[in-house]
A and B are shown apart, each in its own frame.
Chain A
Amino acid sequence: MRLDKSSLILVSTIIATSILTILLYFPTPTPYSPYNYGEQGLSSFIQEAGLSVCSLPDIHGFDTVVIVVNRRVTDSEAIVLKDFVARGGRLIVFDEDGYFNNVSSMLGVDVVVVNKTVVDEVFKQDNRFYVVGSCSVDKGLRIVFYKPSYIVIHGQNNANVLVRSSMYSYIDVDGNGYYTPGEPIGSVYMGVELSVGNGSLVIISDRDVVVNSIVSSGDNLVFLKKLLRGRSCLELSTINPQHLDRLKYWILYYESAIGRSYVVAILLFIITIIAARVGGEHESK
C-alpha cells in the first residue's frame, strides 16, 4: 500500500509519540536505576530524599554525591571522586561487592568492604536475609538490609561506625544461606563514616538498602536522609546504566534546563522528520 506524504507524516507522528511516551513514562528495568519503579529501582529513594540525578563530570556542583556501586570503579572515575572529596564534598557509597575498595585505598582510607553475606535469624525482617541493623549514632533507628556485606576497619582512628548488625548475626562464609559450624557469629559493621581531607566518606555495605522494595522499611528513609548534606545527587554511571537510562537522564537533564514541553516538542519533531524521511525514501524506491 502506498501512502501519500500527509498520511506518512501522520503515521510517523503517531509512532514518534508512542516512542516518546515509552521513553518518558515507561520505567527502566535496570537494577538500582533512578528510573526503575520496580522493586530493584531507586525511584522512591530519589523522590523521598529529594535527590537529583547527576553524571560524574557534574558532581562538583553538589555538596553530597551518592553512588550505588554496581560495577568496578575505573581509575579515571576514582580520580574524579577523590577530587570531589578532597574539595570538601561528602561521598556516600553503597557497595556490597568491594568494588569501591580501590577508591578507598586511593583516598588513603584503610576500610574494606568484605564481599561475604551477613545473615541474622534474630534481628530480621521477614526472613534472615533481611538483616536489621541498629544505628550507632541515632539510637533506636532500625535499618533494614538485604544480604549485606560487612566492613572491616584497619587501624582507622577517625572512623565513626554508623550501623552494626546484632550480636546474633553471622557471616555466611560458604554462601549456602545457612549457618555452618565455624562461621563467625557476632556483630559486624555495615555502615561507617570517615573524615577524608576536607570532605567525608560514608560507606554502607549494601546496595539494596536504598531499593524501592526496602527503602521504606524500618527507619531506612530517616537514616538515609540524615546522611545527606546540602544539595545532593545520585551519580548515574556507577549503577551500570543501560541505554534507556542514559536517554532518560539526557531528556530530564535538558528538561530541567529548557522545560519539558520544549524537549518533547523538539524530540517529536526530530523523530517525525526522521520517520517521514525514512518512509519517504522507502516510498520512492
Chain B
Amino acid sequence: MSLKTPTITVVVSIIVLGSLAGAIHGGSEHFDACILAELYIRTLDLIIEENYGRVLGVTSDLVEIELPSNIVYLHKKVYSELAKVIEDLRVLDSLEEKLSVLAELNKSSEYNRTLEIFKELVIEFYGDRLRLEPLLRRYVDVLVKHVDPSLATYYRDLLVENTDRLFEHLDRKLDHYIAIAGKVPIAPLEAVSIELTNVPEYVVAGSYMNLSIRLAVLNRTVVDWSNCTLVLRVWYGYLYVEEYRFSVVLDKVNNVSFKTLDAEEVIDKRLPVEEDPDRGVYYVEVYGVVYCTVTRGGKAVVVGRNMFYSTLLMYKPMVSIEAPSTVYYGEDLLLKIMFNGSGSLAAHVYIDGKHVGELVIHNGTTYYAIPSGLLAKGVQTISLELEPKGKYMGCSYTITVLVRGRTLDAILGSSRVVFQPFSRLRVKGIVAGKYADPGELHLTVLLDGKPVYNGTVPESFDIELGTPFTLLSLHKITIIVSPSNSVYDPVVAEATAVVVNVPLILTLPISMAIVLATGVLYDITLLIHGLRQKTRAIVQRGSMPLRRDGSWRGISFITIRFRESRIALLYWSLVSKLSKVLHRPYPYETLREYYARVNSRLRESVRRLFRDLTLLVEKDLYSRERVDEDYFKNLVKRVENEIR
C-alpha cells in the first residue's frame, strides 16, 4: 500500500498537471475589434496626411490579417479598395506635378496627352471613391458590432467621424482634380438628388427587384437636362457587377426593375456565398450604385448618385430520399425522392463517388431505380447531387445502403478437443442453397487467424487437419465457406479447440521428478555460489570440498570453497613470457593443443621442458594429485634461462 500510493499519485499528478499545462495555451480566439478599429483610424489618418508610401505598406500588412470567416472577406475588401484609392491619389498627384512642369515648359502636345490620362484617372478615382463609401460604412457597422458593448458608442462615433473625415478629404481632392482638369465632364455631385424607396432587404435569386427612384434637380443651371439617363450598377458580393440604363423623368417617381442573378449564375461567377445551415438559406451581398448622367460635349457627365443595399437569397432544396437500408445482391435499388418546392431540378446520382446516372426531380415524388449491376456487395454510399437552378442552390444528399448476399443454409463445426498424436482436428459441414445453386464451394480454415486449409469441398464435407506441436493450448478455429455464386454471402463459423499433447503431458512431470531426485540442479547452484564467493576463476575439479547439511534437496545448503592453483599461475606466467617469442594461446585452446602448435618453434631442450610443464599443469588442474611446487618452479626457471 505504501508503495502503491505514491505511484498512483505520480500518475494522477501527471495526468492532472498535464491537462492544466495544456490549458495554459488555450485563450480567446475571438478577434480584437477594438485594435482593428484603432488601426483603421490610423490608416485613414495616414491617407488624410497624404503619407501614401507608408499607408500603402500599412494596407498591404492589414489586408493579410487572419480573421474569422464572418469578417475576413469584408476586411480584406476594405483594405484592398483603400489601397486602390491611395494608388489613384498617388498617381493623380504625380500627374498633377507633371502637368504643372509641362505647362511651365510650354510643351503643349505632351501637356494635352498627360491631361487626357489625368482626366481618365479622375473618373476612375471618382468611381473608386463611390464604391469605397458603402464598403467603409458597412465595415464600421461590423466592427462596432464586435467591440465590447461598453465601448460600442465610443467606437461608433470615432469610426464614423474618421470615415466622414476621409470622404471629406477625398471629395476635396476630387474637386481639386476636377479644377485642374478644367474641362473634365464631371459636374458637382449635388446637381441631382436621387431618392430610393422600396429597396427590399432580401431579394430571391433569379427574381426581379423593383425600385422606386425619385430624381430631384437641385441646381438646374449646372447642366443640360435634355438627355438625362439613370445608370444602375448592381454589385454582387463586391465581385461581379451588372449595369442597367433607364430613361427617367425628373422630379417624379420612376419605377425600375431588373432581374437579379439566379443560383446558377452565382455559382458560375464564383461569388462568395454565406450559408445559414439552420435555416437552409444562402446569402450573397448586393449593393447598387445609382448614377444620374447627362450628356455634355458628347460625353456622359455624372450629376448625382445614391446607393442601396440588399441581400440575394437562395434556398437549399428540401429533398428527402427514401430507400431500403438493405438490399440483396442482384436486386435493383429503388430510390424514392421527394421534393417540396417549385419547378424541377436536375440531379446526378453517384455510387461511392462514381457517376452512375442523372434524372430530373419534380415537385412531389420522383422514383429512380439503380440497376443491380451497379451495386456491389457491402455498404454503398449513394449521393444525389442537385444542380443549382433559380432560387435553389446546388446541394448533395447522401444515403448508405447495405448490399448483401443471400444466406446459405449451413451447419459447420470442428473438434472441441484434439489429443496429439492420436487424433487430428476435424472440420465438418453441410451446405445448401435455398434460392439458387451455390455453385462450387471453397473452404478456408483459419487456426488462430492463420490459414491451415484452402480448397474446394462438396456440399457435405468432413476433413482432418494437423495441429501445431504444443503441450496444452487453446486455439480459435474459423471456418469460411465461400460459394462461387455471388448471390450468396460466404458462411463463417467460429469455434475453439483444446489441443493436448498426451505424451508430453505425461513425460514432463516424470522428467521434473527425475531432475529433482538426481540433483542435476547442483551444477547451477555451484555456479551461483561460486560467483558469490568472488573466487578467482581457476576451478580445480576434484579437489573442491563440498559439504551438505543433510537436506535432500541440497539447493541452498551447500558451501563451496575455491582455491587458486599456484602451479597454473606459474605456468601462465611462463606462457606470457614465451608469447613474446611465440604465438599467444587462443582462448579456445587446451594446454596440449597450445603445446602442439608451438613446440616446432622451440629448441629441443626447451621443448622437452615445456612438454613436462604442460603435463604437470594438467595434472594439477584435472586430477586429485598435487604437483610439487618447488619442482615446478625449478622447471620454469630452467625454461626461462633457456629462452633468455
Chain A positions near chain B (C-beta within 8 angstroms): 15, 18-19, 22, 26-31, 36, 38-40, 119, 121-124, 126-129, 146-147, 166, 168, 170, 177-181, 185, 208, 213, 244, 275, 278
- Please judge, given known A-B contacts A15-B3, A26-B14, A40-B21, whether A177 and B28 are in contact too, CB under 8 Å: yes
Q: Which residue of B lies closest to A177 (CB)?
A: B28
Q: Which residues of A sit under 8 angstroms from B13, Cβ to Cβ?
A: 29
Complex-state Cα separation, A110 to B607, whole angstroms: 88
B148 at interface, CB cutoff 8 A: yes
CA of A179 to CA of B11, assembled, Å: 41
Asked whether B298 is an interface residue with its Cβ less than 8 Å from the other chain, the reply is no
B328 to chain A, nearest CB (A): 52
The secondary structure that dominates the B interface is helix
B297 sits at the interface (CB 8 A): no
Q: Looking at A121, A181, A185, A278, which has the most chain B CB atoms within 10 Å of its CB?
A: A121
B154 touches A128 (CB 8 A): no
Chain B residues with CB under 8 Å of A18's CB are 7
Contact A179 to B32, CB < 8 A, known contacts A29-B13, A38-B18: yes
Interface contact B7-A185, CB-CB below 8 Å: no
Asked if B105 lies at the interface with its beta carbon under 8 angstroms from chain A, I say no
Selected from A26, A38, A128, the residue in CB contact (under 8 A) with B22 is A38
What residues on A are CB-neighbors of B11 within 8 Å? 22, 26
Q: Which of the residues B25, B34, B65, B66 comes within 8 Å of A178, measured between beta carbons?
A: B34
- Nearest-CB distance from B246 to chain A (Å)? 45
A257 CB to nearest chain B CB (Å): 25
Tell me, rounded to whole Å, the shortest Cβ–Cβ distance linking A159 to chain B: 27
> Is B35 part of the binding interface, using a Cβ–Cβ cutoff of 8 Å?
yes
Contact (Cβ within 8 A) A128 B31: yes
Q: Is B38 an interface residue (CB 8 A)?
A: yes
Sorted nearest first, the 4 A-B pairs with minimum C-beta distance are: A29-B17, A179-B35, A179-B34, A40-B21
B10 within 8 Å of A by Cβ? yes
- Contact indicator B34/A39 (Cβ below 8 Å): no
Using C-beta atoms within 8 Å of the partner chain, give the interface range for chain B. 20 to 34
- Cα A244 to Cα B62 with chains together (Å): 47
CB-nearest residue of chain B relative to A29?
Answer: B17
Report the minimum CB–CB distance from A101 to chain B (whole Å): 23
Residues of B within 8 A of A27 (CB): 14
Contact between B27 and A129 (Cβ–Cβ < 8 Å)? yes
Ordered by A's residue number, 21 sampled pairs between the chains whose C-beta atoms are within 8 Å are A26-B10, A28-B14, A29-B18, A29-B20, A39-B21, A40-B24, A121-B36, A122-B61, A122-B64, A122-B65, A127-B28, A128-B32, A166-B61, A168-B35, A168-B61, A168-B62, A178-B32, A178-B148, A181-B151, A181-B154, A185-B38
Tell whether B29 is near chain A: CB-to-CB under 8 Å: yes
Task: Give A193 to B17 CA distance when docked, in angstroms.
Answer: 34
User: What residues on A are CB-neighbors of B14 within 8 Å?
Assistant: 26-29
Interchain nearest-CB distance for B420 vs A (Å): 33
Are B29 and A127 within 8 A (Cβ)? yes
B91 within 8 Å of A by Cβ?
A: no
Contact B10 A244 (CB under 8 A): yes
User: What residues of B have a CB within 8 angstroms of the CB of A29 in the complex?
Assistant: 13-14, 16-18, 20-21
Q: Is B39 an interface residue when CB atoms closer than 8 A count as contact?
A: yes
Determine the distance from Cα of A275 to Cα of B28 in the docked complex, in whole angstroms: 50
The chain A residue sitting closest to B29, CB to CB, is A127
Would you call B39 and A38 a contact (CB within 8 A)? no
In the assembled complex, the CB of A59 is this many whole angstroms from the nearest CB of chain B, namely 27
B25 touches A213 (CB 8 A): yes
- Please measure, in the bound complex, the distance between the C-alpha atom of A129 and the C-alpha atom of B32, giving whole angstroms: 11
A119 and B22: CB pair below 8 A? no
CA distance A27 to B35 in the complex (A): 40
Give B391 Cβ to nearest chain A Cβ, in Å: 38
Contacts beyond the supplied A27-B14, A122-B62, A168-B62: 14 A-B pairs with Cβ under 8 Å: A22-B11, A29-B21, A31-B21, A39-B24, A121-B36, A121-B65, A128-B31, A170-B38, A178-B32, A178-B34, A179-B32, A179-B38, A181-B151, A185-B38
Closest residue of chain B to A243 (Cβ to Cβ) is B10
Contacts of A31 in B (CB 8 A): 21, 24
**Shortest Cβ distance from B14 into A: residue:** A29
- In the assembled complex, the CB of A5 is this many whole angstroms from the nearest CB of chain B, namely 10
Quick one: which of A122, A213, A244 has the most chain B CB within 10 A?
A122
Bound Cα distance A128, B31 (Å): 8
Q: Is the CB of B21 within 8 A of A121?
A: no
* Assembly CA distance A185 to B42 (angstroms): 11
B15 to chain A, nearest CB (A): 8
- Considering the complex, give the chain A residue whose CB is closest to the CB of B3: A15
**Which of these, A19, A28, A36, A39, contacts B7 with CB under 8 Å?**
A19
Task: Contact check, A38 vs B31: say whether CB atoms are below 8 A apart.
Answer: no
Chain B residues with Cβ below 8 Å from A179 are 32, 34-35, 38
The A-contacting residues of B in range 453-508, CB under 8 angstroms, are none
CA distance A28 to B42 in the complex (A): 47
Say how far A282's CB is from chain B's closest CB, in angstroms.
10
Q: Which residues of chain B in 35-70 are interfacial with respect to chain A, using CB atoms and an 8 Å cutoff?
A: 35-36, 38-39, 42, 61-62, 64-66
A244, B27: Cα distance in complex, Å: 29
Which among B21, B35, B62 has the highest number of chain A CB atoms within 10 Å?
B35
Q: How far is the CA of A127 from the CA of B68 in the complex (A)?
A: 10
Residues of B within 8 A of A19 (CB): 3, 7
Q: Inside 8 A of A208's CB, which chain B residues have their CB?
A: 25
Among the listed B10, B24, B66, which residue makes an inter-chain contact with A124, where contact means beta carbons less than 8 Å apart?
Answer: B66
Which among A18, A128, A208 has the greatest number of chain B C-beta atoms within 10 A?
A128
Give Cα distance in the complex from A19 to B6, angstroms: 10
Interface string of B554-577 (1 = CB under 8 A from A): 000000000000000000000000
- A22 near B10 with CB under 8 A, answer yes
B25 near A146 with CB under 8 A, answer yes
Minimal beta-carbon separation of B8 from chain A (angstroms): 11
CA distance A28 to B64 in the complex (A): 40
Closest residue of chain A to B24 (Cβ to Cβ) is: A40
Complex CA–CA separation, A175 to B385 (angstroms): 51
A133: shortest Cβ distance to chain B, in Å?
A: 15
Which A residue's beta carbon lies closest to that of B65?
A122
Taking the closest CB of chain B, its distance from the CB of A41, in whole angstroms, is 8
Cβ-neighbour of B32 out of A22, A40, A121, A147 (below 8 A): A121
Assembly CA distance A38 to B35 (angstroms): 33
A38 to B64, CA, bound (A): 32
A-side contacts of B17, CB under 8 Å: 29-30
Which of chain A's residues have a CB closer than 8 A to the CB of B7? 18-19, 22
Which chain B residue shows the least CB distance to A244? Answer: B10
Closest chain-A Cβ to B35's Cβ sits at a distance in Å of: 4
A26 to chain B minimum Cβ distance, whole angstroms, is 7
Which residue of B has the minimal Cβ distance to A11? B3
Neighbouring B residues of A22 by C-beta, 8 Å: 7, 10-11
* Contact A39 B22, beta carbon cutoff 8 Å: yes
CB of B31 within 8 A of CB of A121, answer: yes
A179 to B37, CA, bound (A): 10
Cβ–Cβ < 8 Å partners of A168 in chain B: 35, 39, 61-62
